Amino acid sequence: MLASFLMGLVGGQRAMTPLVAVSIASATGNLPGGNGAPRILSHPYVVASTVALAAAELAGDKMKTAPDRVVPIGLVARFTTSAIAGAALAPRQDRWLGAAVGGLTALAASYPGWRARIATMPRYGQTRTGLVEDAIVVVGAITILRAFATPSGRSRH
């Protein structure tokens, strides 16, 4: 469940990052062995769509009109994508628990992440703080996937 929890932390900051991360990992055979990922995650159209949506989110986050991550639709998106990622990273028999851990962690992580961003924006601006946050989130997602899976879906843990 640790991978599901950690990916939920990522999802609290960027809604699409957990989904694109597990979609790419699923397509390349780099999810933990015996995982609970639905097969559709690895479909090329799903991978392409999640990449496009994640790129749009990263770009949109820097706009002055971007809504706060804690608005209801943002929280629903974070919960949903992190729940899918949490299930995909959990053992098949625990996929519902992994989904709950990922989704609920994303909800809880949204608020401190939002407060930190709000606190730093007056000094560093929306674009710079967003770029730093993007880097942390993307590197975090990649690190989580590398730590918990090996090629061909054989788990290290």
pLDDT tens profile 89-122: 999 999 999 999 999 999 999 999 999 999 999 9
At 36-85, the pLDDT tens digits run 888 899 999 999 999 999 999 999 988 888 888 999 999 999 999 999 99
Other CB atoms within 10 Å distance of the CB of residue 108: 13
Nearest to 26 by CA among 46, 6, 8: 46
Model-level pTM? 0.90
- Parse the chain into domains and list their residue ranges: 2-153
Structure confidence at residue 157 (pLDDT)? 42
